[in-house]
Amino acid sequence: MQFSRQLSLLAAGLACAFAAHAQTVKETPNSQFKPTGKGWGELDNVAMQHSNGQAGGASRSASISNLTLHGGPVMVAPTNMYYIWYGSQWDAASQNVLTNLGQHIGGSPYFNINTTYYNSANVHVQNSVTLAGSTTNTGTYGTQLTDANIASIVSDAITSGKLPSDPNGVYVVLTDHSTTATSGFCTQYCGWHDHTSIGGKDIKYAFVGNAETQCASACGATSPSPNNTPGADGAASVLAHELEETVTDPNLNAWYSSYDGKENGDKCAWNFGTTSLASNGAKYNQTFGTMKYLIQQNWLIASTQKCVQHYP
């Protein structure tokens, strides 16, 4: 397996060295979190890993930053999602929040935004996501995970038979609040997605961290959070981000901007649109099943490209 590494952000002029498209895609933290000297500004680490050009700024026009299809595969079959609960510090309430999301995001007006994306044969993504299975790993690789460890967690779950080997699946490694990812969780990204070969099949997977006690201001939810589970509520938006990017750009060579390399989730990162107030005073903008969530918007391809909360 090839595991990509983070590109360096250079503070002076926000310059960076751009890699080829076969790079792990990582979602940058909320713009409120600005590590000293990193100069996040308009830059997005995902963009730098996709783009072959120079870093763009706020002055770029919408037309040159629209998403286009670059010929790679798109997940047009119904999507099966699999959860791997990593760590020993998960509580039932937090698991319920993320399980409910996985059970109800498919078929929703929110996920329907992704049906505007299509492959090179003009076959469109389906508004179909099923939480098809889950398993636990209480900490085989400790609490300091490398990117290689995260891929191994997925591989272990499949090769042990705990989860099926599914090329139409998205395997999400969900870490508890005591676990971190050493390649930059909280400082360089909040989550990421990638793909690798396991047992001869192209397997898509994602990392979604729990920011509750590590970096709530960078990757977490608002306070109070919609379901009074700040770590899980924050992870829910990151999970939606990684799911929609995996479906529309599974091998990092399908839908993204030629100008700045952003995928659909990146285009609307930390953009929540119109919100309402829950009974506990928390902001929310989506309801899945009976639970409320604050979920970032997604990028609509149809007609005018823009961030929206639902489609149509």
**How far separated are the first and last CA of the chain, in Å rounded?**
40
Separation between Cα atoms, residue 270 and residue 237, nearest integer Å: 9
Q: C-alpha dihedral over 79, 220, 266, 195, to 10 degrees?
A: -40
Residues 61-90 have a mean pLDDT of 91
The answer to which of 127-131, 134-138, 210-214, 236-240 has the lowest mean pLDDT is 210-214
Tokens of 212: 């509750």
Question: Percentage of the chain surpassing pLDDT 90?
Answer: 76
The predicted structure's pLDDT at residue 64: 61
pLDDT tens per residue across span 270-288: 999 999 999 999 999 999 9
pLDDT tens per residue across span 82-116: 999 999 999 999 999 999 999 999 999 999 999 99
The answer to which of 220-224, 227-231, 298-302 has the lowest mean pLDDT is 220-224
Q: How many CA atoms lie within 13 A of 282 on its CB side?
A: 21
Q: Coil, strand, or helix at residue 287?
A: strand
Based on its alpha-carbon atoms, the radius of gyration of the chain, rounded to whole angstroms, reads 18
- Arithmetic mean of pLDDT over the chain: 84
Burial (CB count within 10 angstroms: exposed 0-12, middle 13-18, buried 19+), residue 103: middle
In this predicted structure, the answer to whether residue 180 has a pLDDT above a threshold of 60 is: yes
The predicted structure's pLDDT at residue 222: 82
The predicted structure's pLDDT at residue 129: 98
Q: What is the pTM of this model?
A: 0.85
Confidence of residue 24 (pLDDT cuts 50, 70, 90): low
Residues 251-256 have a mean pLDDT of 97
Query: Measured in whole angstroms, how far is the alpha carbon of residue 122 from the centre of its chain?
Result: 24
Residues 8-22 have a mean pLDDT of 27
In this predicted structure, the answer to whether residue 186 has a pLDDT above a threshold of 60 is: yes
The answer to which of 67-71, 181-185, 211-215 has the lowest mean pLDDT is 211-215
In this predicted structure, the answer to whether residue 150 has a pLDDT above a threshold of 50 is: yes
Residue type, 21: H
